[in-house]
Structures are given as structure tokens and as C-alpha cells.
Amino acid sequence: MSGATGKACSICGKSQPVEQFSYGNRELRSYCISCSKAEKAAYRKGGVVAARQFRESMRGKWRSDA
């Protein structure tokens, strides 16, 4: 352990307090709660494809290997 608090979101890439990853009766999810909400909104509009496109476009902002 490095002693750093928080966890990096696998969508937005930002390190945030672990509380941001505990929701929906589960803890330490891969996405922060705000990304999860945005992904669900995309899913409601366009289903699985839109949700995936949302995740990939978000990751493309901070990942160079996308």
C-alpha cells in the first residue's frame, strides 16, 4: 500500500475517495458514482452500444493506448 487514499475510476481516470465507489449495495466498484450515473444515462438512450461508446470516449481523454 502506498498510503494514498482513494481509487482511480476506470472510466474518468480520476483518483477519488473510496466512498465514491460504493453505491447500489456494493463497494469498491470500478467506476465512480458520477461515471456510473452518466453511463446508465447513455445506456437508457442507446443501450449497450451507447454505454460502451461512452466509456471508450471517456477513457480516450486520459489513456493514450485506446
Q: Residue numbers of the site for Zn ion (CB under 5 A)?
A: 9, 11-12, 32, 35
In angstroms, what is the minimal distance from the CB of 25 to Zn ion?
Answer: 19
* Distance in angstroms (rounded) separating the CA atoms of residues 54 and 57: 5
CB of 40 to Zn ion, least distance (A): 13
- Give the residue at shortest CB distance from Zn ion: 9
For 13, counting Cβ atoms within 10 Å of its Cβ (0-12 exposed, 13-18 middle, 19+ buried), the class is: middle
The CB-of-48 to Zn ion minimum distance in angstroms stands at 19
